[in-house]
Amino acid sequence: IYGTCQNGGSPSNGGGVLYAMPTFGNGFFVIHSFDFGPTTDNGGGPVGGLTLGPDGDLYGTTNGGGSNGTGVVFRYGPKMLALSPNGAAAGSSDLTLTVEGSGFTQFAQVLWNGQGLSTKQINSQQLQATVPASLLASTGSATVQVTDGTLGTTTSPLIFLIGQPQLQIHLTSATRDQNNNVIVQLTFVNSGGATAGNLNLASAKLTDSSKNTVMATAGTGAIGDLPSGSSITVNLTFPASVVSGKGLLRVAGTYTQGSFGGSFRVNIP
């Protein structure tokens, strides 16, 4: 059973609580304490009851608190955003996994392929779990989720790669050289647990604000091997005819274990 109290709770200004009571016996759990402080991520005086959303989370409103002191809409339920790290080498020793997101409580637990891990709540945005070496012995992947013991809801999974490369591409900068050519710098990062072999940037095309699309005149082609935990930068050259303003860069390529592609918004100087 879930409910709210409009007053009381742990803050000295008594902004009320969100609570849970199990139906199988005694117990009363304070899930969250509200307050009337001028913060953007909390409210005070929950009113109007709770609504169970289609995602399994609880929603409600407060009549005070928040950035303007006029109340907030709140959601209770775990949400995962990222894993750190998101990969490891096969045969690794015990690993500390940090899960970043929101709505985490002391009752949250990290699941590895559906099985619970030893979990510690750091705060409402972070959990830490221990992944035993036995789960990292072989090359493959695992699904990571967070389940909330009081709400009985489980997040959608994120993927953890074991003994496989995890390739990320970042747009670092966009400038013009002395000949007015557009130079776009990309950074390739391998955060996985294996080398990305034979990395090759097969194509790069830039569409400018006039909807004209041109291919890179330099910078594409073979990059080489990218070991685990390393990064490399690539400078792409586009002709001076590219019009300044907002543009779109599209890249595609391959490596030994697969292929990659992506699109990036570019402010063309």
CATH of the domain at 128: 2.60.40.10
What's the rounded mean pLDDT across residues 243-257? 96
Domain boundary, last residue among 103, 127, 162: 162
Domain boundary, last residue among 139, 162, 185: 162
Q: Are residues 34 and 125 in the same domain?
A: no
Domain boundary, last residue among 59, 76, 93: 76
Whole-number average pLDDT of the chain: 91
Q: Are residues 124 and 202 in the same domain?
A: no
How many Å apart are CA 26 and CA 1, to the nearest integer?
12
Q: Are residues 173 and 257 in the same domain?
A: yes
User: Number of structural domains, the chain?
Assistant: 3
Q: Are residues 69 and 87 in the same domain?
A: no
Q: Are residues 101 and 20 in the same domain?
A: no
pLDDT surpassing 70 at residue 198: yes
Which residues, 6 or more positions from 168, have their beta carbon under 8 angstroms from its beta carbon? 188, 189, 190, 191
pTM (two decimals): 0.69
Q: Are residues 135 and 155 in the same domain?
A: yes
What's the rounded mean pLDDT across residues 74-89? 90
> Which has the minimum average pLDDT: 51-60, 156-165, 232-241?
51-60
Q: Are residues 199 and 260 in the same domain?
A: yes
pLDDT surpassing 90 at residue 124: no
Hey, what are 127's tokens? 């959990």
What range defines the domain where residue 243 resides? Answer: 167-268
DSSP string, 173-233: EEEE-TT--EEEEEEEEE-SSS-EEEEEEEEEEEE-TTS-EEE-SBS-EEEEEE-TT-EEE
Q: Are residues 175 and 261 in the same domain?
A: yes
Q: Are residues 72 and 86 in the same domain?
A: no
